[in-house]
Amino acid sequence: MSIVAEAMSNPVNLVLTGVLVVLAFQYIFPADPNSSTLRPTVAHARLRMDPSHSYSALPTEHVKATVWNRYTPRTLAVFDGTGKEASDRILLAINGKVFDVTSGRNFYGPDGPYGNFAGRDASRGMAKQSFDADMLTPLDQPIDKLEDLTPSERTNMLEWESHFTGKYGVVGELVNEGAA
């Protein structure tokens, strides 16, 4: 009996021979690197949006980018939610950080309970838990340094800042006129 005939009589040898033939063929004739099976298209990636199907999938749209800005009291005042468009951004500042609170329009919009803080530095009002108009520094004056706050008021303001940091995006910093 020949060696080939003897090798082919065992099923395991048949499978191993087939595997060797396939590997040899792939080695001699490699796949085109520009082939669509190796480089899926964006459309193909979007089809695989089901998270259980693949761990890497493209979102349906890009996340909205936020540009970091330096705001003065006057430039921040524009973002008070009273614009003509429903999509107008609402910003407010606490402890020098400017937050985009647009998603909380029901609270910080013109008709919301915290609406007086929209487009303004809300630090003193949040520290003292007061919505009074005298908690807001006039737009033509320097930023309130909050030096007269009691330790508990300062803690209160820092807790509000922490709450906002966890809930809303920080989009900039509040600076005095001339520093922007």
User: What is the rounded distance in angstroms from the CA atom of residue 164 to the CA atom of residue 99?
Assistant: 7
pLDDT at 160: 95
pLDDT at 104: 92
pLDDT at 18: 86
The pTM for the full model equals 0.65
pLDDT at 136: 92
Query: Which stretches of the chain drop beneath a pLDDT of 70?
Result: 1, 3-4, 6-8, 32-40, 44-60, 62-63, 86-87, 180
Provide the residue ranges of all domains of the chain, joining segments of one domain with +: 3-47, 69-174
Phi, psi torsion values for 141, nearest 5 degrees: -115, 160
Q: Letter for the amino acid at 12?
A: V
pLDDT at 122: 95
Class of domain 69-174 as given by CATH: alpha beta
pLDDT at 85: 75
pLDDT at 36: 54
User: What is the rounded distance in angstroms from the CA atom of residue 155 to the CA atom of residue 150?
Assistant: 9
Question: Encoding tokens for residue 21?
Answer: 């033939």
User: What is the rounded distance in angstroms from the CA atom of residue 27 to the CA atom of residue 95?
Assistant: 65
* Chain centroid to CA 50: 21
